């Protein structure tokens, strides 16, 4: 603003623009040794909602594809067969890298008995276990003559299907 001789600007007449260089985020996800593809990497902010939600590529790399104000951001990592992971990252202006090593998920035995609906007699069925989120078949086991089955799986949500000859 050009000033005339002896003109004084007051606070109401001033406009101050401050530029803060945004922060960007990339990284690499491994199992501690090898790169992991298709790991979901995402961040959520109470004010803005989901800031980004990306999958790692074949080399385990991700690029959040966003520019955010510098500050703290919780970055989360999820992949089938691995425990959920979180990192509180302090992002600075410019490029930031947050690498993460996934830990194996705990496992448990899924057990059951397949029986005939009419008389509860055991069936030698084939039991298929599939991920509930995408239908991917994870395991297939054959029941014993007593109709029982056991399969060890990582903690997750599954759909279980049984098929027996004649049923």
Per-residue pLDDT in tens (0 to 9) along the chain, 167 residues: 444 555 555 656 567 677 788 899 999 999 999 999 999 999 987 777 788 999 999 999 999 988 888 888 999 999 999 999 999 999 999 999 999 999 999 999 999 999 999 999 999 999 999 999 999 999 999 999 999 999 999 999 999 999 999 88
Say what the pLDDT of residue 44 is.
80
**Structural contact between residues 60 and 30, judged by C-beta atoms closer than 8 angstroms:** yes
* 3 state DSSP class of 8: coil
Say what the pLDDT of residue 71 is.
87
Say what the pLDDT of residue 13 is.
59
Say what the pLDDT of residue 1 is.
45
Q: Which of 18, 64, 7, 70 is nearest to 41 (CA)?
A: 64
Length of the chain: 167
Instruction: Tell the residue number behind the tokens 């069925």, with chain if given.
Output: 125
Q: Which of 55, 70, 21 is nearest to 134 (CA)?
A: 55
- The backbone torsions φ and ψ at residue 73, rounded to the nearest 5 degrees and listed phi first, read -145, 130
Say what the pLDDT of residue 61 is.
98
Say what the pLDDT of residue 100 is.
98
In angstroms and rounded to an integer, the radius of gyration of the C-alpha atoms of the chain is 27
71-96 pLDDT, tens digit per residue, is: 889 999 999 999 999 999 999 999 99
* 3 state DSSP class of 113: strand
Farthest-apart Cα atoms in the chain, separation:
103
């Amino acid at each position: 603003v050009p000033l005339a001789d002896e003109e004084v600007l007051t606070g109401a007449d001033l406009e101050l623009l401050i530029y803060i260089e945004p922060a960007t985020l990339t990284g690499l996800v491994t199992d501690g040794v090898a790169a992991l593809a298709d790991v979901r990497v995402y961040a959520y902010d109470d004010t803005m909602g989901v800031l980004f939600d990306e999958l790692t590529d074949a080399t385990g790399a991700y690029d959040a594809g966003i520019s955010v104000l510098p500050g703290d951001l919780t970055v989360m990592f999820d992949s089938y067969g691995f425990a959920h992971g979180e990192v509180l990252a302090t992002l600075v202006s410019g490029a930031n890298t947050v690498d993460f090593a996934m830990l194996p998920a705990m496992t448990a035995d899924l057990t059951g008995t397949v029986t005939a609906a009419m008389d509860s007699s055991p069936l030698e069925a084939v039991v298929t276990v599939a991920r509930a989120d995408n239908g991917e078949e994870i395991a297939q086991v054959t029941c014993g003559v007593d109709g029982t089955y056991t399969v060890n799986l990582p903690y997750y949500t599954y759909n279980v299907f049984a098929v027996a000859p004649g049923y």
